[in-house]
Structure 1
Amino acid sequence: MPPRELTQAVDTLAQLDAVTVREDLRQKEDGRKWILKVQLRLTDPPADTQVPRETDWYVLIEDTYPWGSIEIHPSKENSITATFPHQRRNHPGSEEEPWRNGNICVSQYGHILGRSGAITEPRDPDERLRWHLERAVAWLETAANGNLQQPGDPYEVPEFDTRAAPNRTLAFNETYDSFEDWQSVSGSWGTVELRQLAEPTGTLATGEFRDLDDHVIHQPEWGDYIKDNTEDVFHGAWILLDSTPFEPPWEAPETWRELENVLEDAPIELYELLGKVSSTVTEEDIQILLIGFPIPEEIGDPDALIRWQAVKLPSLKQPAEHAGGFRNTERNREILARVDLVNKEIQWLDSENWAHEQLARRGSLSKPLSETKVLLIGTGALGSTLAECLVRGGVQELTLVDGETFEIGNLARHTLTLPDVGEEKATALAERLQSLTPHASVEAITEDFPPTDESRDAVASSEIVIDCTGSNAVLGALRRFPWKQPTLFTSASMGRRGNRLFVYSAYDTAFPHNRFREALEPWLLQERLEWSHGEDAVPERVGCWHPASVIRMDRVTTWAGTISRYLDQTTDLGHGQSKLTVLETQAEGEVPLVSEAEPPFQDSIEWASADSSITVRIPAGRLAAVKDLCAEAKEVETGGILAGTYFSGGEALVVRATDPPSDSTHGPTTFHRGTEQVDEWLQAANERLGIQYLGEWHYHPAAPPEASDDDYDEMVSIATNESYHCPDPILVIIGGSPPDDLSVNVYVFHREGDFEELHRANPEDEPEDSQ
């Protein structure tokens, strides 16, 4: 039996005129999802649309409802068969199931599917399923009218069918700068070097692109990993289009005949391209075709990037191998390529942009740090962990200096692993760091600082130098070393038990060792006093005593992450400036001391119901801002919308109150709140802050803050309009004469048609600045 919450949710679908339940709920065999068949009806679809007036759909609901996913798939019978924007590839899917795979996206793109009021997905069991189906109807109506893509939407590429070539991936490297380079390319096709990587298995990385005259026109810039892990190099073909090769409404071609149709306006005919390129590469080489096209970042924006989509070609016979035999001419190769391919399905390859600016969008460091040549001295516990933070954060050019060997005892507090035992630390760490990104170039210098003459030039040209050795000898050598330019120096070390982090930075022509010691000496004395009676090291081995610090890896990672953030803040130091930062927590072995944050919105003013648990809280600063708007309005009414969030138990918190929209009308005794940019504002507030529409605020100049008949009618209309998704809208009325004689009343209206006037809770607690 379906759970009661789900059956009640299905019952609420009767409220939607455009939705009819066709079959009762049934459970999938694996028990993880419930299946509901529905029919969706459009009011007045265009005559030329691919969307029928009535379509059948299957709703797949996780058994954790009201939590978990809700998917809406077209039925295999009496539904849409095309693929539209904001939809998975709409292919028939499994033979055992009656639905297609074209799940539609209704939980995003609120400014397209939203109506007046909030667009936040509800979590109430009685509302969530109905919300999804209501938006499915809106999605279908928008699809029928061809309006699913709107300016400002993130640009998306249709889903390509890669099932026929599941173990191949193309990694290309296209940036905003390379897009400009491609704009000046006169040719439209040629050959491309493809590097087959040892890992990830089946991955091909693009190398040199050559035109029809065999001139190099584009060379992607890769890091050491691509260069050092290339198993084989062969050639494929490329063609660059002026527009996207998609079939309407929004799907990738699935056969060579379909691809030929969408390439009608291409700079060169498809089979002519294959005939020409096959004369310059061997049959085995021409197994991959790259189809390139320009794309924007957002709908409506100019094109900004080149997107490559790879195709795996079937084996093409040489002309002489065809029945009857043919001369090996370009024209014959073109004709025979058409014969071989025209009725075959395309084997698309997964194709991904591995450009640095695309991969580094998650948690990247600032450009002054990531695009600078960095030297890291010391690859022990702190140094190795910091190096990983830097490379994962986007640092592309890093040199490591360390003359030590990785030992078994280092495993407890290092990023290297068992296979690295006995290897030189710098070399092993460089190899590991190169595997973190296709763009890092990491050089290892396997000697102590300062290096010998052979490596001095590479070190001297560094722009940022980080010391993680904790060695006074190294710091002295930093002062004496002949740097080629002013350099940003940073020395980072932990206290004897890891409870402190010392970070000293200076921008100068040499490391200011004397200033560093003066700044650090009081702290070193404090460290000696604190640990003079305690053990801060343990013997690592039996026999001769080998001291080893007791600092744990969790503390090392905490401080390494802190240093990487700190480095981002020190790149603006002026010449000759220096700074010491000391961060402190509790001693090793104890839970780190974390101060308790003050609960937010403690200055809120609260209104409560005398008959229910409903409360409304408004921060004093927000209420003061609304009163300022009332003062600006002077003798005419004004108002705006309220946004915030509901907590459990009927508590509402208002965190935003808007100015009156620009198309509002104001009068001495009337105000009509406009709608200009309201939906857009609500969408942005929901996506960035997670808040939703809560109600309205009005100002009654020189009058009591009491709801008028017009106010009552407006709020009842909002409460009963389900498109607002706000069954209990709030009305805040400010009345009186600004600035000092203003008072506030708060009302809550209900979908059933009644309302409550709330009263101030603890009025003596109101801050003075809110009066």
Structure 2
Amino acid sequence: MSVKRIPNERLLKGRRATEFIDGIEIINDLEWKESINRWVIHCSLYSDEIETAVIPRETEWYILLDDNYPKGDIHFFPSKSNSLTHTFPHQMYNGEGKKEHPWRRGFLCLDANVSTLGKLVPNQEPFDEEERLYWYVTRAIEWLIAASTNTLTSENEPFELVDFPKASPLKVGFSETVQTFKFWNSLDIKFGLVTFSILNNGVLLVRKYQKLNGTCVRRVNWGNYPTQYEPVKKISGSWVILKEIPHIKPWQAPFTWGELTNICRNQGVELLDILRKIKKSHNFKNKLAHIILIGFPIKDKLNEDYSEIFWKGVEISNSFDNSSNSKGTKLNISNMTKNKHRININGQEQIKWMDSFNWSKKSVMSRGMLPKPINESKILIIGAGALGSSIGELLTRAGVEKLGIVDFDKLEMGNLTRHNLLLTEVGKSKAKELAERLNKTSVHGKVTAYSGTIKNNVEKNIDELIKYNLILDCTGEDEVLEYLQQNSWPKKAQFISISLGFGGERLFIFSNYGFSFQYNFFRSLVDPWLLEERAKFEEVQLPREGLGCWHPLFPARIDDIWIMAATAIKTLEKINKEEHRTLFKVHEYEKSMEGSFEGIKLVNEEVYDE
């Protein structure tokens, strides 16, 4: 016999606070639903300010609460009876929902990001037990008023896609920008074929858009890792561009093929005719699936012009297969010789919408990217050791696409204590393995390995190396830096030396612009610092590796390397602003009186005119 669960005092306080709200009536009070691990309140919400031509004055709702209230999510779902059946902005797709639940799918977006709410309560969400549920209920009533008066959105807020009810496990990535939007607008055709490659299990990348005759319309420029794979032959694809986002008013994605077909027709696009032409021009026999990309224009903000094409993928399993044994969604296309004008589609069949993502560089790097002059530079890193590998990863993850890695060495087991590579790469070329790893950190990465010394590579690959405009030495070796002084680069470049002091507690950065690295000048600036370190640490016993005739190792932990590598990246921004002036900077650890780490400070900065 099950024991009825009693709500805790925190929940009861939150629930009692709603009694002071004019606009809510409890139908069934707090009840624990074991199947969803949530507390549920069945209520009605009402207001005389609701425009009843759009939404009834009073509607029924289910409020779902976490047992850890006031923490956790709070969701408002429309009841399957006496409530909303359409989908509005700032609402998830309001479908029928699961049979076992008395509520629909379309929970409301009530968080502080919905700027049009906040007239009755502040936009800042409270987390006090007496205030949080009160805040949500009040905003839900305000949401209903705004939805009924078409004021849920403001002109300057970000554009919001309709919520497409996902039904396919597949995902598709594409790359669209303001520039490609102009291209699509200039194109006189609005449909065609598309090819995909597989990035990993269930994730497709758009590779090429074509006309029906196979002529390439646009090829997508991805990085080295994605483009190593040939387009997959078992999946066919097509594309169609609409004039606007496909939706049923006020803001609901089409759920069935019948709904989508009608929406396309209202925009002057006969989707069935297009599919017929695709079938007529190509053989889709033995394909696992057909992917249709439905394209439409979007914008950054509601009050701005359209600026980008978004592609929403639709999966059709066993596409164009009329056999009775085929499984999944089918397009039942009639024999072309018998009927030239009709295609029979089951209009009630659910659309298998896919998750779709714009993986353009701008979109992917929206979390943070280096300034444009740096991330568009072609950077050659000399030295793929602990420092070089760390700086390489920071650069690629911050938006630098074109990177070259020069190193003659192989990875040793001891390197792994402060290197980005793994056990599986021990004994292999540092340059090649690091380039492969960095190409996997970005869908746009174009990292090239140059195994061997800088001298050998200049002699053999100068036609390749000449494209790099920023030469970044991370070896700190005199032999390398002397070579960069004695041998002029084919064209002017920014030369930068990044090296660490003893124990990784000091960072030296020198930069000059020209045909060669100013090694003699660099040594005149750095030598006094090195002499000071030598005197300071003369008696320190250095760590060693191996037996016999071995050399001492440079002592520094991986956290020392990473924090100095990050500091060096910050300095690149400074160098970028100095307009080719010569610069020398020294950063070092700042420690407390007890010797504990407190941060990094700049202790020397010298800037010289050319």
User: Are the structure 2 counterparts of residues 363 and 169 from structure 1 closer, same or farther at C-alpha, using a change threshold of 3 Å?
Assistant: same
Aligned to 1:445: 450
Q: Is the partner of 2:475 in helix, strand or coil? A: coil
User: Are the structure 2 counterparts of residues 427 and 334 from structure 1 closer, same or farther at C-alpha, using a change threshold of 3 Å?
Assistant: farther
User: Are the structure 2 counterparts of residues 288 and 561 from structure 1 closer, same or farther at C-alpha, using a change threshold of 3 Å?
Assistant: same
CA offsets per residue over residues 424-472 of structure 1, 9 Å max, x none? Answer: 0010011111111110101000011121433112222211111110101
Asked whether the 8 Å contact 1:376–1:467 carries over to 2, the reply is yes
CA offsets per residue over residues 525-573 of structure 1, 9 Å max, x none? Answer: 11101110112x3122234434323311111111111111111221122
The code of the aligned residue for 2:313 comes to A
> 2 CA distance for matches of 1:347 and 1:318?
16
The code of the aligned residue for 1:292 comes to G
Aligned to 1:251: 252
Match of 2:424 among 399, 419, 427: 419
Task: Find out whether 1:458 has 2:464 as its counterpart.
Answer: yes
The code of the aligned residue for 2:237 comes to G
Match of 1:490 among 493, 496, 505: 496
> 1 CA distance for matches of 2:340 and 2:290?
15
Q: Is the partner of 1:196 in helix, strand or coil? A: strand
The code of the aligned residue for 2:179 comes to D
Aligned to 1:476: 482
Task: Find out whether 1:97 has 2:101 as its counterpart.
Answer: yes
Shift of 1:260: 0.7
Q: Is the partner of 1:279 in helix, strand or coil? A: helix
**Unpaired segments of 5 or more residues in structure 2?**
1-5, 326-332, 602-610
Aligned to 1:224: 224
Aligned to 2:242: 241
Asked whether the 8 Å contact 1:508–1:577 carries over to 2, the reply is no
Shift of 1:370: 0.4
Aligned to 2:314: 311
CA offsets per residue over residues 213-233 of structure 1, 9 Å max, x none? Answer: 543222221110111144624
Shift of 1:351: 0.8
Aligned to 1:80: 84
CA offsets per residue over residues 31-59 of structure 1, 9 Å max, x none? Answer: 9532222210131433431x222111111
Aligned to 1:195: 197
Aligned to 1:181: 183
> 1 CA distance for matches of 2:318 and 2:22?
55
Task: Find out whether 1:505 has 2:483 as its counterpart.
Answer: no
> 1 CA distance for matches of 2:552 and 2:280?
69
Greater displacement, 291-300 / 98-107: 98-107
Task: Find out whether 1:28 has 2:33 as its counterpart.
Answer: yes
Shift of 1:143: 1.0
Asked whether the 8 Å contact 2:438–2:445 carries over to 1, the reply is yes
Q: Is the partner of 1:193 in helix, strand or coil? A: strand
Q: Is the partner of 1:190 in helix, strand or coil? A: strand
Asked whether the 8 Å contact 2:292–2:315 carries over to 1, the reply is yes
The code of the aligned residue for 1:262 comes to I
Asked whether the 8 Å contact 2:475–2:499 carries over to 1, the reply is yes
Match of 1:172 among 174, 189, 192: 174
The code of the aligned residue for 2:240 comes to I
The code of the aligned residue for 2:271 comes to L
The code of the aligned residue for 1:454 comes to K
Greater displacement, 120-129 / 386-395: 120-129
Match of 2:521 among 494, 515, 523: 515
Match of 1:358 among 363, 369, 373: 363
Aligned to 2:540: 534
Greater displacement, 211-220 / 150-159: 211-220
Aligned to 1:409: 414
CA offsets per residue over residues 335-372 of structure 1, 9 Å max, x none? Answer: 2xx32443322111111111111001112111111011
> 2 CA distance for matches of 1:208 and 1:33?
47
Query: Within 5 A, what are the aligned runs for 1:254-293?
Result: 254-284=255-285, 287-293=290-296
Task: Find out whether 1:210 has 2:215 as its counterpart.
Answer: no
Task: Find out whether 1:397 has 2:398 as its counterpart.
Answer: no
User: Are the structure 2 counterparts of residues 31 and 272 from structure 1 closer, same or farther at C-alpha, using a change threshold of 3 Å?
Assistant: closer
CA offsets per residue over residues 387-415 of structure 1, 9 Å max, x none? Answer: 11100000010000001001111111100
The code of the aligned residue for 2:508 comes to F
Aligned to 2:589: 584
Asked whether the 8 Å contact 1:318–1:328 carries over to 2, the reply is no
> 1 CA distance for matches of 2:440 and 2:323?
46
Q: Is the partner of 2:503 in helix, strand or coil? A: coil
> 2 CA distance for matches of 1:520 and 1:592?
24
> 2 CA distance for matches of 1:26 and 1:546?
72
The code of the aligned residue for 1:211 comes to K
Q: Is the partner of 2:454 in helix, strand or coil? A: coil
Aligned to 1:742: none
Shift of 1:579: 2.7
Query: Within 5 A, what are the aligned runs for 1:590-739?
Result: 591-594=596-599
Q: Is the partner of 1:548 in helix, strand or coil? A: coil
Match of 1:385 among 358, 365, 390: 390
Asked whether the 8 Å contact 1:396–1:439 carries over to 2, the reply is yes
Asked whether the 8 Å contact 2:166–2:355 carries over to 1, the reply is yes
User: Are the structure 2 counterparts of residues 373 and 16 from structure 1 closer, same or farther at C-alpha, using a change threshold of 3 Å?
Assistant: same
User: Are the structure 2 counterparts of residues 449 and 333 from structure 1 closer, same or farther at C-alpha, using a change threshold of 3 Å?
Assistant: farther
Match of 1:345 among 314, 333, 350: 350
Shift of 1:110: 4.8
Task: Find out whether 1:122 has 2:126 as its counterpart.
Answer: yes
Asked whether the 8 Å contact 1:504–1:516 carries over to 2, the reply is yes
Identity of aligned residues (%): 33
CA offsets per residue over residues 668-698 of structure 1, 9 Å max, x none? Answer: xxxxxxxxxxxxxxxxxxxxxxxxxxxxxxx
Tell me the TM-score normalized by structure 2: 0.90
User: Are the structure 2 counterparts of residues 333 and 275 from structure 1 closer, same or farther at C-alpha, using a change threshold of 3 Å?
Assistant: farther
Asked whether the 8 Å contact 2:279–2:320 carries over to 1, the reply is no
Aligned to 2:436: 431
Query: Within 5 A, what are the aligned runs for 1:6-17?
Result: 6-17=11-22
User: Are the structure 2 counterparts of residues 31 and 100 from structure 1 closer, same or farther at C-alpha, using a change threshold of 3 Å?
Assistant: closer
User: Are the structure 2 counterparts of residues 241 and 540 from structure 1 closer, same or farther at C-alpha, using a change threshold of 3 Å?
Assistant: same
Aligned to 2:560: 555
> 2 CA distance for matches of 1:171 and 1:82?
29
Aligned to 2:381: 376
The code of the aligned residue for 1:418 comes to L
**Unpaired segments of 5 or more residues in structure 1?**
597-771
Q: Is the partner of 2:259 in helix, strand or coil? A: helix
The code of the aligned residue for 1:464 comes to L
User: Are the structure 2 counterparts of residues 146 and 520 from structure 1 closer, same or farther at C-alpha, using a change threshold of 3 Å?
Assistant: same
The code of the aligned residue for 1:188 comes to K
> 2 CA distance for matches of 1:343 and 1:407?
62
Tell me the TM-score normalized by structure 1: 0.72
Shift of 1:70: 1.5
Asked whether the 8 Å contact 1:508–1:576 carries over to 2, the reply is no
User: Are the structure 2 counterparts of residues 311 and 110 from structure 1 closer, same or farther at C-alpha, using a change threshold of 3 Å?
Assistant: closer
Greater displacement, 555-564 / 106-115: 106-115
> 2 CA distance for matches of 1:79 and 1:318?
40
Shift of 1:333: 6.5
> 2 CA distance for matches of 1:408 and 1:133?
60
- Residues matched between the structures, number: 584
> 2 CA distance for matches of 1:576 and 1:87?
54
The code of the aligned residue for 2:226 comes to I
The code of the aligned residue for 1:182 comes to W
User: Are the structure 2 counterparts of residues 320 and 24 from structure 1 closer, same or farther at C-alpha, using a change threshold of 3 Å?
Assistant: closer
Shift of 1:125: 2.2
> 2 CA distance for matches of 1:457 and 1:501?
33
Aligned to 2:330: none
The code of the aligned residue for 2:451 comes to T
Asked whether the 8 Å contact 1:316–1:340 carries over to 2, the reply is no
